[in-house]
Amino acid sequence: MRKVITYGTFDLLHYGHINLLQRAKALGDYLIVALSTDEFNWNEKQKKCYFTYEERKRLLEAIRYVDLVIPEENWEQKVSDVKEYHVDTFVIGDDWEGKFDFLKEYCDVVYLPRTPDISTTQIKADLHKQ
């Protein structure tokens, strides 16, 4: 069984997120999503989420491509997650190109192209204009 892992906040879930999850799942048999906790988002990324961690987790668990949701609590946990869950492929959007190449020592690393014309940042900006 090939295991794939991806990381993200997945706030204001949209079709770009679904595209990423579908393409990530196509690279293996079992997809793990490491979901950024509220504390991690605020303390490390200075992001305030619209939905809580538990709400975002429930949304992800309802998506057929997602097999397991785990908490992302810090930047450094990726190597230990790959080892603990016996991950074969790490997947993330290509806006992070090159940033996670250090994981190639432990698994394949794939940077997927982002879905054009959609992002949570854009949705929030558009809502503030109204």
pLDDT of 127: 66
SS (H, E, C) the chain: CCEEEEEECCCCCCHHHHHHHHHHHCCCCEEEEEEECHHHHHHHHCCCCCCCHHHHHHHHHCCCCCCEEEEECCHHHHHHHHHHCCCCEEEEEHHHCCCCHHHHHCCEEEEECCCCCCCHHHHHHHHHHC
Q: Out of 25, 45, 99, 124, which one is annotated catalytic?
A: 45
pLDDT of 47: 81
Tens place of pLDDT for every residue, the chain, 130 residues? 999 999 999 998 888 899 999 999 999 999 999 999 999 999 988 888 999 999 999 999 999 999 999 999 999 999 999 999 999 999 999 999 999 999 999 999 999 998 867 766 676 666 667 6
Q: Out of 3, 25, 47, 99, which one is annotated catalytic?
A: 47
Specify whether 47 is catalytic. Answer: yes
pTM for the complete prediction? 0.91
Specify whether 78 is catalytic. Answer: no
